[in-house]
Amino acid sequence: MSPLLEVKNLEVAFFTKDGVVRAVNGISYSMEEGDTLGIVGESGCGKSVSCMAMLRLIPEPPGKIMGGEVLFDGIDLVKMKRDDLHSIRGGKIAVIFQDPMASLNPVMTIGEQIAEAITVNLGQSHRQAMERTIELLARVGIPHAHDRVKDYPHQFSGGMRQRVMIAMAISCQPKLLIADEPTTSLDVTIQAQIVDLVQSLQRELGMAVIWITHDLGVIARLAKRVNVMYAGFIIESGPAKDIFRQPHHPYTIGLLGSVPKPDVQGNQTLQFIDGTPPDMLRLSEGCSFYPRCPYRLAQCEKERPALMQVGNEHMAACWNAAAAAQAALDATASGRA
Amino acid sequence: MASEPYLLQVNHLQKYYPVKGGLFRKVTGYVKAVDDISFAIRKGETLGLVGESGCGKTTTARVVLQLQRPTGGEVILNGKDLTKVSDENLRCLRTEMQIIFQNPYTSLNPRMTIGSAIAEPMVVHGIAHGNAAHERVGELLNMVGLNKYFAGRFPSEFSGGQRQRIGIARALSVNPSFVICDEPISSLDVSIQAQIVNLLKRLQGELGLTYLFISHDLRMVRYISNRMAVMYLGKIVEMGESLAIWKSTLHPYTQALWAALPLPDPELEEKRQRIVLQGDVPSPINPPKGCRFCTRCPKVMEVCREVEPPLRELEPNHEVACHLYD
């Protein structure tokens, strides 16, 4: 069986007045139907841009897809005509964004907005679409859906707006849902509700989900596979359990160490990653993490490591991965003792 | 720590905002943003204040600093009740209490070099001028881990984490004894958050600072604070030693907060018992009768909808406001 989504060497750059920002630098991964992939990284690492470029949703210019293929159901989205993309976007691939207020039309009722998506994508009549809208709103947990279809976005709370976005996203039964930091602006108890909702919908509809976030906890809760991104590269990739149990890339190790663990007793010191992420206008030819890396070798400054096998389906882009992983294991062992 | 005297005592603090409506803009009700809360912080201690948006954490910070005057209650800093001090005299007291803001992008003047931004409070309060101020800026920059030659640069040349360091340097320039950190890390990336929290911890040790650390991140609050208070809709629902609250969480809201917090460990996540709260936080204009959490509480009882539970000490140094323990 061919994979549902296959990204090969995707490269995206932005041509700004200060120079060329190389936002995504040749990333490759694939997903099967019904998979859950988590993409983790800090601001500016290219996690959102890589997914938006896949749907050709980046502004061109200044953005440009420099190369690579995105095969969805065997069709290359990069080469597709813009007009044909409409059948994919919002239909087979749906997106939910971080800020639901910015993605909803403030002067249109919630019901009209969802029904519009259904009439456009599935060609149903307005009345059918409205009925379906009410069903969907009830399914995503909006109380009194019958009355609330007539409300405007500002009459909903942040969590409820995100539910509306989810209802819109699943209205055309997508095969792939891209969730771009959908819970970042929400409170933790509301975040838990949204994560639960997406998980139950995923089981029900059998769709694949890409969850983009900087929150390692959310990833641990829902992802089967994880890509860790840094400076436009995937620097570690593998099954979630392996990455959390035995991270190999020093950046992943640092990221996991920066989160305080509530189960450690007494006075723990938080590890942290020194320095700041690199300037994307001036990426070095060596490993982008080199200046911040506690495990760097002389080789790392000049030669950029590619993803290398470090375990079963587990890959890391690091020349010194074995030593870093061992040091991380020792540190956790001494922390637990 | 327990032997240290209290630096700050807050008693029955209230802040109500009038809601106006109708043709003549009559006052039709009040938003009770902070509704009768009391806490105390010992010298050199950190009290963490946790809660979701709209629970009144930031209002508490502003009212404690008298940036807004409270509707009722006392704020006693170093033995002086700030609510009774006039605005003019309050200015002199500002050197004792400072605040670090959430958003380092909007809290620094973009047209001012960071050197003059850091020196400004010293000049305003007449602590240092000219060369002395300049030297002190260099010291402060070093203290927060920045190069002293950065003083001539503008905020736009710095990253979020660096700007937060500048904000810290500015707050510390007048040698305060008490600092409120109002969500100082929530706009930063994970790896930078840890840097800032460690910096705050180090400075506390070096300068003997007392913190009120406000955050919605239970993990960070548990990490940085000796004691913590959990707020819900303008009330403190649980307060005590951070470790004790983590070990034996008493209030159902705090339990739900812990449970909602995803742990960075897939194996633990699978085994964990989930408590997913239903619904949203009710409007503070019209809070529920009885316990304010009764509309979302998984363990709600008849009495909760009628009688408001008082905050009381259940274990030593661990207070909770809940009818479950009656």
State the nearest Cα–Cα gap between B219 and chain A, in angstroms.
6
Per-residue burial over A1-22, b if 16 or more Cβ lie within 10 Å, else e, is: eebbbbbbebbbbbeeeeebbb
How many separate domains does chain B show?
1
Q: Which among A194, A133, A134 has a CA at the least distance from the CA of A158?
A: A194
CB A91 within 8 A of CB A119: no
Q: Which residue shows structure tokens 């997913």?
A: B276
Residues of chain B with pLDDT under 50: none
CB A174 within 8 A of CB A91: yes
Ramachandran angles phi, psi of A65, nearest 5°: -85, 115
Amino acid B54: pLDDT: 81
3-state secondary structure of A222: helix
Q: Which among A172, A253, A178 has a CA at the least distance from the CA of A216?
A: A253
Task: Please name each of the domains of chain A with its CATH number.
Answer: 5-223 (3.40.50.300), 247-336 (no CATH)
Residue B24, domain member (yes or no): yes
| Contact assignment for A244 to B162 by CB distance below 8 Å | no
pLDDT digits (tens, 9 = 90+) for A168-209: 888 888 999 999 988 887 788 888 888 888 998 899 888 999
d(CA B292, CA B47): 23
d(CA A135, CA A116): 15
Per-residue burial over A84-98, b if 16 or more Cβ lie within 10 Å, else e, is: ebeebbbbbbbbbbb
| Contact assignment for B220 to A273 by CB distance below 8 Å | no
In chain B, positions 175-214, which contact chain A (CB-CB < 8 Å)? 189-195, 197-198
For A60, other C-beta atoms within 10 Å of its C-beta total 12
| Contact assignment for B190 to A255 by CB distance below 8 Å | yes
State the nearest Cα–Cα gap between B270 and chain A, in angstroms.
7
B259 touches chain A (CB under 8 A): yes
pLDDT digits (tens, 9 = 90+) for A93-119: 999 888 777 888 889 999 998 898 888
B265 touches chain A (CB under 8 A): yes
Mean pLDDT of each 10-residue bin along chain A, 337 residues long: 87 88 90 92 87 87 88 88 82 85 87 88 86 89 86 85 88 90 82 87 91 88 91 92 90 86 63 80 85 88 88 89 83 63
- Beta-bridged to residue B221, according to DSSP, are none
Amino acid A97: pLDDT: 86
State the nearest Cα–Cα gap between B179 and chain A, in angstroms.
21
For B67, other C-beta atoms within 10 Å of its C-beta total 12
Amino acid A251: pLDDT: 92
Amino acid B1: pLDDT: 52
CB B216 within 8 A of CB B52: yes
- For residue B257, the surrounding DSSP H or E stretch is helix B252-260
Which residues of chain A does B204 touch, with a Cβ-Cβ cutoff of 8 Å? none
- Residues whose CB falls within 8 Å of the CB of residue B32, separated by 6 or more in sequence, listed in order: B14, B15, B16, B234, B284, B287
B262 touches chain A (CB under 8 A): yes
Which residues of chain A does B265 touch, with a Cβ-Cβ cutoff of 8 Å? 220, 244
In chain B, positions 21-80, which contact chain A (CB-CB < 8 Å)? 52-53
| Contact assignment for A254 to B161 by CB distance below 8 Å | no
Above 0.90 for ipTM, yes or no?
A: no
Which residues of chain A does B232 touch, with a Cβ-Cβ cutoff of 8 Å? none
| Contact assignment for B194 to A269 by CB distance below 8 Å | no
Which residues of chain A does B269 touch, with a Cβ-Cβ cutoff of 8 Å? 220-221
Residue B40, domain member (yes or no): yes
Q: Domain range holding B38?
A: 6-325
Residue B1, domain member (yes or no): no
Which residues of chain B does A273 touch, with a Cβ-Cβ cutoff of 8 Å? 191, 194-195
For A62, other C-beta atoms within 10 Å of its C-beta total 13
pLDDT digits (tens, 9 = 90+) for B156-187: 888 888 899 999 999 999 999 999 999 888 87
d(CA A253, CA A230): 13
* CATH value at residue B308: 3.40.50.300
Which residues of chain B does A268 touch, with a Cβ-Cβ cutoff of 8 Å? 223
d(CA A41, CA A232): 10
Amino acid A337: pLDDT: 45
